[in-house]
Amino acid sequence: MSVQFGKWNFEGQSPAPDYIERVNATLAPYGPDSNESYSMGGVKILYRAFNTTKESHFERQPHISASGAVITWDGRLDNRAELISELREFLTISSTDIEIVAAAFERWGDRCFGKLIGDWALSIWNPRERSLLLAKDPIGTKHLYYSMEKDHLTWSTILDPLVLYASRTFEICEEYIAGWFATMFPAAHLTPYVGIQAVPPSSSVLIRNRKKHVINRYWDFDPGKRIRYRTDAEYEEHFRSAFFTSVQRRLRSDRPVLAELSGGMDSSSIVCMADLIIAGAHTDCPRLDTVTWYDGSNPNWGELPYFTKVEERRGCVGHHIDGRSLRKDSSEKRFGAEFESDRFTATPIANNGQSEFFKQNAAYIMSRGYRVTLSGIGGEVTGDGVPAATPELQNLLARARFFTLAHRLNAWAAKMGESRLPLLWEAVQGFFSSRVNVLKEMHPPHWLHPSFVRRNRNAFRGYPLRVKLFGPLPSFQDHTDKLGANRRFVAHCHLSSELLREVRYPYYDRDFLEFAYAIPREQIVGLGQRRFLMRRALVGIVPGEILSRRKKETVPQKTAKSISVEWPSVTEIGQHMISSYVGVIDLERFEEALQKARRDGEAPIESLKRTLKLEAWLRHLMIQGVLTNAMAARRHSYSSALGAKEVSAPAQSKSSAS
C-alpha cells in the first residue's frame, strides 16, 4: 500500500512549491518508507512508499521506462513468474514489481493491463505524447481518483488533497449520497464531490490534449468460459488448487501477516489454508497470526466455539478483542462529535479512530509491526447464504432444458419442503423488469425528499440488474451482480493513517473468481446445501465442526422502543439543515420523526442515525470551506448552530490553497 499524487498544468508552469509542500505533508502519514518525486514540463508527481514485500524495498518511483514513460505503481503483482518468463530478455527473478510492469507496458502498451494479476492502481505519464493513463485492477481494491479542470488535472490515491487544495469548491454528488444512505456503498466510480471521479475497476482512463478523456474497459470476466469435469473429485481438486494459489499470493510479505479470524467458514478457511502453505514452505511469509473480535453477550456474535476450534488446530491462541468489555465504556456521542477532530473527513464515514475497538485494533497492529491483514470478506462466491434454486432453474429455462428443469424442480421442492409453483415463479419473474423483484427494493425513510429519491431510485435499490434470457447464463449474471456489490464495497474502504495496513482479500482473486464463475451452479450450491463444493474440497484442512456448521442465524435486534438512544433536539441541531438545503431531506418530516423518537422512542434507529451523520458531515465540509459558493453564501443561516468563528476561519485556509 503506497500513495501517489500528481498535478499536470496544461500550460506547462510548475505547481507552486507551497502547494506541493502541503500535498506532500498530507501524503506523508500514509507512506513512511520513502519520499520521491518527478518534475518536468508542468507535471509534478509525488510518491510515498509503504513496503510490504522484500522486492518493494528496492523500488524507486516514479519509475522511468526505456521509452521515457513515467510510471507510478501501488500494488502487488501476483503473476510475477509468468510475466518474467514472457519478458525474460529484460527481467530477472529478482526484478521488482514496478520493473515488471514497466517492461510489460513497453512491449504491449495499455494491452498489458489485462495481463497484470493482483491488487493494483497505476498512473503512466507520457511526456512525448503529453498524455496520462490511469488504471486499476479488475476488482478495484486499490484507490485512484482524478479531477480535471480547465487548466490542470490532478490525481491521487487519497481524496484529501484533491478536495482540500483545489482551486475551487464543490457541489455534493447526490447519487453518491443516495448510494451511501441506502447501502453505505455507492457506485465504485463515484466520490462525494461533483468533478472528482474514481477510476472504475477493470478500466483505464486516458487524458490527452487537455480535453480528450476516454474511459476504456480493458478486461472482464468471460461469460462463455466453461469448466466441466466428469467427477466431483476433479472439481474439488481444482477448488483446492485455486484457493491455495489465492491465499499463497496474499501471503507474499517480508514480515508476519495478520489474519482476521471470526470463526465463520470464510476466515477459518483462509487461516487453515495459510497454515498449510507456510508449513510446506510455499511462501516467504515467516508467520501467520490471527486477531478475533467477539461479543459473548450478543446472540449475533456467537462465534466463540468455532474460532477456538481453529486455534486448537493451529496450536496457538490469537489476539482477542472482547466487544462486551469495550461496550461498557461506550456511550452515545452528542450530535456532530464524530466530525469534530482536526482531521479532515472526506466522506460520510466518520473518524473511526474515536471508537474503542478501532483504537485497540490499531494499537495491537502497530505494536507488533504488522503491515498486511488477510480478510475473509467476499466468500459469498463459494455459495454462502440460504441455498436457492433460482439461478440453477433460470439456467435451465434460458437453455430450454425443460426435462431437466422438471426433474430439478421436483428435487428442489422436495428438499426445501416447498411447492413447485412458487419456486418456478421465483425463477421466471427474475427475467421480468427489475421492478418486479421486490426483494431488492429499498424503502428509504419517509423524511427523504421525494424528488431526491426519484432521481436516485437505482442507487436506492442497490443498482439491480434484470436477468437476461439470452446471452450469459443467469448464474453468471448473478455472479456479476454480486461482483458489482463487492466492487462498491472495496471502493469505499478508505485508507486510514491511524490504522496503517494493507488489507488483502483472497476471495477476490481473479483466477479464483474465474474458476467459480465457470463451473456449474449445482457444484457451488447443491440441493439445499450451501457451499456444496467448498465443504467437500476442504475436508481435512478446515476443522469438521466449521465445515458442518449451519449458517449463523441473525437474531432480530431489539425494537427501537427498547433501545435507549439520546436523540438530539431540533434546537440542538438548529433550524437550518444543510441536508435540507441541498434537497436530500424534507425538513418538516425529519423534525417530526426526531421529535417522535425523543418523545416515545418509536423510531427507525439506523435511518435516523444515518441522517444525523450526513448532516454533521455536511457541516464539517462547510467548516472546512470545500462546499460551493452558493452554500457558502448561506453561512449566516447556520451561524447559530456552528458558530461564526468556526465557519469563517477554515474558509480562509481553503481560499489560500492553490
Q: What does the alpha-carbon distance between residue 403 and residue 622 come to, in Å, rounded to a whole number? A: 64
Task: State pLDDT tens for residues 289-301.
Answer: 999 987 766 655 5
Is position 15 within any domain?
yes
Structural domains in the chain (count): 4
Task: State pLDDT tens for residues 482-526.
Answer: 999 999 999 988 888 888 999 999 999 999 999 999 999 999 999
Task: Tell me if residue 140 falls in helix, strand or coil.
Answer: coil
Is position 465 within any domain?
yes
Question: What is the band of 273 on the pLDDT scale with cuts at 50, 70, 90?
Answer: very high
What pLDDT does residue 650 have?
40
Q: How many helices (H) and strands (E) does the chain have?
A: 27, 17
Which segment of 18-32, 480-494, 566-580 scores lowest on mean pLDDT?
566-580
Cβ(100)–Cβ(83) under 8 Å? Answer: yes
594 vs 637: which has the higher pLDDT: 594
What pLDDT does residue 160 have?
95
What pLDDT does residue 61 have?
96
State the chain's mean pLDDT as an integer: 87
What pLDDT does residue 325 have?
62
Q: Are residues 614 and 518 in the same domain?
A: no
Q: Are residues 254 and 329 in the same domain?
A: yes
Task: State pLDDT tens for residues 31-46.
Answer: 999 999 999 989 999 9
Is position 324 within any domain?
yes
Mean pLDDT confidence for 367-389: 93
Q: Are residues 432 and 345 in the same domain?
A: no
Mean pLDDT confidence for 285-310: 80
Q: Are residues 98 and 17 in the same domain?
A: yes
Q: What does the alpha-carbon distance between residue 507 and residue 516 come to, in Å, rounded to a whole number? A: 10
Is position 555 within any domain?
no
Cβ(169)–Cβ(196) under 8 Å? Answer: no
Give residue 322's Cα distance to chain centre. Answer: 26
Q: Are residues 371 and 394 in the same domain?
A: no
Cβ(389)–Cβ(412) under 8 Å? Answer: yes
- Check whether 559 has a pLDDT greater than 60: no
Q: Are residues 91 and 200 in the same domain?
A: yes
What pLDDT does residue 558 have?
46
Which segment of 486-495, 594-603, 612-621 scores lowest on mean pLDDT?
594-603
Q: Are residues 236 and 345 in the same domain?
A: yes
Is position 164 within any domain?
no
Q: Which amino acid is at 265?
A: M
Helices (H), 465-604: 474-491, 510-518, 521-524, 532-537, 544-547, 570-573, 578-581, 587-600
Task: State pLDDT tens for residues 196-254.
Answer: 999 999 999 999 977 678 999 999 999 999 999 999 999 999 999 999 999 999 999 99
pTM score, whole prediction = 0.91
Q: Which of 461, 483, 505 is at the close of a domain?
A: 483
What pLDDT does residue 384 have?
87
Mean pLDDT confidence for 129-146: 96
Is position 40 within any domain?
yes
632 vs 170: which has the higher pLDDT: 170
Nearest to 27 by CA among 44, 9, 52: 44
Beta-ladder partners of 121: 74, 136
Helix axes 390-398, 474-491, angle to 10 degrees: 130
Question: What is the band of 353 on the pLDDT scale with cuts at 50, 70, 90?
Answer: low
CATH of the domain at 350: 3.40.50.620
Task: Tell me if residue 468 falls in helix, strand or coil.
Answer: coil
Q: Are residues 339 and 423 in the same domain?
A: no
| C-alpha grid cell, residue 147 | 479531477
Q: Which of 437, 462, 483 is at the close of a domain?
A: 483
What pLDDT does residue 293 have?
84
Q: Which of 453, 483, 513 is at the close of a domain?
A: 483
* Percentage of the residues of the chain whose pLDDT score is greater than 70: 88
Question: What is the band of 354 on the pLDDT scale with cuts at 50, 70, 90?
Answer: low
389 vs 324: which has the higher pLDDT: 389
What pLDDT does residue 385 have?
81
CATH of the domain at 85: 3.60.20.10
Mean pLDDT confidence for 465-489: 92
What pLDDT does residue 32 have?
95
What pLDDT does residue 655 have?
40
Question: What is the band of 633 on the pLDDT scale with cuts at 50, 70, 90?
Answer: very low
Mean pLDDT confidence for 566-580: 79
Task: State pLDDT tens for residues 396-418.
Answer: 999 999 999 999 999 999 998 98
315 vs 338: which has the higher pLDDT: 315
Is position 176 within any domain?
no
Q: Are residues 474 and 510 in the same domain?
A: no
Domain that holds residue 462: 390-483
Mean pLDDT confidence for 267-290: 96
The pair phi, psi for residue 368, each rounded to 5°, is -100, -5
Helices (H), 134-264: 160-164, 174-183, 232-250
Question: What is the band of 346 on the pLDDT scale with cuts at 50, 70, 90?
Answer: very high
Q: Are residues 367 and 407 in the same domain?
A: no
Q: Are residues 94 and 134 in the same domain?
A: yes
Q: Which amino acid is at 157?
A: T
Task: State pLDDT tens for residues 177-192.
Answer: 999 988 778 999 999 9
What pLDDT does residue 574 have?
72
Is position 490 within any domain?
no
Q: What does the alpha-carbon distance between residue 313 and residue 540 come to, in Å, rounded to a whole number? A: 11
Q: Which residues make Cβ contacts (< 8 Å) with residue 155, sequence separation at least 6?
A: 4, 5, 6, 123, 132, 134, 144, 145, 146, 147, 162
* Percentage of the residues of the chain whose pLDDT score is greater than 90: 66
- Check whether 340 has a pLDDT greater than 80: no
Task: State pLDDT tens for residues 420-460.
Answer: 999 999 899 888 865 433 334 457 889 999 999 999 988 88
Q: Are residues 369 and 268 in the same domain?
A: yes
Question: What is the band of 560 on the pLDDT scale with cuts at 50, 70, 90?
Answer: very low
| C-alpha grid cell, residue 497 | 493513517
